[in-house]
Structure 1
């Protein structure tokens, strides 16, 4: 089971990432902390030298558990639900580009923030269909490269498209692909799920990994989430996928990493 933390090779306004713009320092620190890998949060992939990135992670012997794609939305407004078909097409193209990169790393690609949102209300039928069509295009690209996409339920304050594990299961049922799994995030679950434990059991073999952060988006142990019960639920379903700490760099990057690493070593 890979234990990782989320990092970014570029500086970004998106908060829960460590060592932003200081990737080599981050990889060295992750290695010293005894963790297996990282989640790479990538902006526009055309602005990143992916060959250099690949060389760097190999040099440090670090696995890449996942590639996160939300910066395309948070930094540039590019999403799979955008009303402009050209912008939706750009979102699909970026996912395809990162799927190709992920295939060389054995990594999974996250469909989280890049979903975008259509407002603070429930999406209309047309808005929902528009998102599903774009997502299906991404899934077909992933199937060709044998890469798994992870649909991450995100809380209602950030999106109105897929807030809960149950909703993610419904989307997967509609798409109908073994290359689409669920990535629960304990921070979002703490807001949306009546029972995080029951939701994880409900997801069962659709679980493709897990993001962990405490109730305040800090490293686990610095908030009030009961991770012992979450661990029991994961063991109940025979969870063997990666666990990634996606946490704020507070009080600083190194302290957050050390706290996350301490937690991950014994979890679940």
Structure 2
């Protein structure tokens, strides 16, 4: 398994320096913002060539959710995701992380009454995924469908929720991304859920139980990594977290050390 990272505020702004920093800290790849990739494609190609650090995945960078309540925004988002997948194809990237939506609505906070039916939710997401499945096939990439916790999205919360869309629609280029932070809220047991869905889990996001850097909370990363090993997972483990502490750089490096030790 390989360690990846998203961007952090304390990373260098210059693109080549950013990639060099990621390599120096000890990461194996970069999960990049999709719009940033599209807007700086040539510079990113050069940075990859110089450092050997691949852009494995993209996350974010589009303006409409696949399950958006507003149809025009949903369709615009699909156009932007297609552009990101085409850019990923150019740099040898694997795919893009896509939740149903983020922060659009939750049954756990007022008004607690969705403007759309559950049937309407499923129709919107299904149409989006069927379209993106074809785009992914054309670009040799993968859609990583991400379940979020109930406080951030009301449509896809567990790995089983994501699995149902893939199986019911016969999607060949859609896999599940398992995010330990969201799973800690939604799954009865992280390792059990990973094992049950081992045939469809294609990417991993890491944060500790409170969304801060791995090793600063209570999650047993070694236990869950062992499950992934036993099930033959050999993809990326990508940190997606906030960082707290007086020295973010030192805290982040300590998180990498903790994860490497948990992998050993």
The TM-score with structure 1 as length reference comes to 0.85
Of the three residues 71, 76, 101, the one matched with 1:115 is 101
Structure 2: which 5+ residue stretches go unaligned? 108-113
Distance in 1 (CA, whole Å) between partners of 2:5 and 2:29 is 7
Size of the alignment, in residue pairs?
Answer: 254
Alpha carbons 2:67, 2:74 under 8 Å: kept = yes
1:151 Cα deviation from its structure 2 partner: 0.8
Distance in 1 (CA, whole Å) between partners of 2:65 and 2:10 is 24
Residue 181 of structure 2 is aligned to residue 187 of structure 1: yes
Structure 1: which 5+ residue stretches go unaligned? 9-16
Residue 26 of structure 2 is aligned to residue 31 of structure 1: no
C-alpha spacing 1:197/1:222, structure 2 compared with 1 (3 Å):
same
Of the three residues 225, 229, 241, the one matched with 1:231 is 225
Residue 22 of structure 2 is aligned to residue 19 of structure 1: no
Alpha carbons 1:190, 1:196 under 8 Å: kept = yes
Per-residue Cα deviation, 1:99-132 (whole angstroms, up to 9, x for no partner): 1111122323334346346632375201220121
Tell which has more relative contact order, 1 or 2 (C-alpha 8 A, sep 6+): 1
5 Å-filtered alignment, 1:154-193, equals 154-193=148-187
Per-residue Cα deviation, 1:8-33 (whole angstroms, up to 9, x for no partner): 6xxxxxxxx76385544432222112
Residue 264 of structure 1: aligned partner: 259
Distance in 2 (CA, whole Å) between partners of 1:99 and 1:267 is 32
C-alpha spacing 1:256/1:25, structure 2 compared with 1 (3 Å):
farther
CA RMSD of aligned residues (A): 2.3
The TM-score with structure 2 as length reference comes to 0.87
Distance in 1 (CA, whole Å) between partners of 2:185 and 2:14 is 31
Per-residue Cα deviation, 1:66-91 (whole angstroms, up to 9, x for no partner): 1112x435xxxx22222333211111
